[in-house]
């Protein structure tokens, strides 16, 4: 089993994603991610503005973001976003423990994207927040003064 497959299965288990849902999305995810990459995050997500146009899965590796969507009408799965993390701009996220979940927003390809990632409990919420922080917070440089 390659690195992508083994880390994908553990991320799916952590996120509580059903095997049938994962099996529908895996061919598209595998097409967009190299087999030697590790999956950092896999999550079920929805569009927060009410346009629930299908079942979305968000996959993050150390270098890439892929969001796939299964349409409700035809059941086809396709990639909504497939982009290098370095090409994302204005990445913001807001962890909300009252719901619980995280809203992730960013710019890519000249437009805004927003997704709501539902979490099952507070522990999962704060782990997700920490993973997003690790991937997207700019590293502070320390300048030595002579």
Amino acid 66: pLDDT: 95
Amino acid 146: pLDDT: 46
**E-strand spans in 4-88?**
39-46, 55-61, 64-70, 77-84
Encode pLDDT of 96-125 as tens digits: 998 889 999 999 988 999 999 988 888 899
In angstroms, the CA 108 to CA 83 distance is 8
For 20, 29, 143, the CA distances from 78, given in Å and listed in that order, are 16, 9, 45
Mean pLDDT along residues 44-69: 84
Encode pLDDT of 64-102 as tens digits: 999 999 888 888 899 989 999 999 999 999 999 988 899
In angstroms, the CA 146 to CA 134 distance is 31
User: Pick from 15, 48, 45, 12: which is nearest to 127 by CA?
Assistant: 15
In angstroms, the CA 30 to CA 26 distance is 6
Amino acid 128: pLDDT: 92
Amino acid 109: pLDDT: 87
- Domains by residue range for the chain, with CATH: 3-136 (2.30.29.30)
Amino acid 94: pLDDT: 94
Backbone conformation region of residue 144, classed left if phi is above 0, alpha if psi is from -120 to 50, else beta: beta
Average pLDDT score, the chain = 87
For 25, 123, 132, 140, 141, the CA distances from 59, given in Å and listed in that order, are 10, 20, 12, 26, 29
Phi, psi (degrees; rounded to nearest 5) at 23: -65, -30
């Amino acid at each position: 089993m390659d690195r992508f497959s083994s880390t994908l299965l553990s991320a799916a288990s952590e996120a509580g994603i059903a095997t049938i849902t994962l099996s529908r999305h895996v061919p598209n995810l595998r097409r967009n991610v190299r087999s030697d990459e590790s999956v950092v995050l896999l999550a079920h997500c929805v569009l927060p503005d009410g346009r629930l146009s299908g079942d979305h899965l968000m996959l993050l590796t150390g270098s890439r973001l892929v969001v796939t969507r299964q349409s409700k009408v035809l059941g086809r799965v396709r990639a909504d976003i497939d982009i290098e993390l370095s090409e994302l701009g204005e990445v913001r996220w807001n962890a909300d423990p009252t719901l619980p979940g995280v809203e992730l927003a960013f710019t890519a390809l000249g437009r805004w994207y927003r997704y709501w990632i539902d979490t099952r409990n507070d522990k999962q919420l704060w782990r997700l927040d920490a993973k997003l922080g690790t991937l997207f917070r700019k590293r502070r440089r320390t300048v030595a003064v002579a």
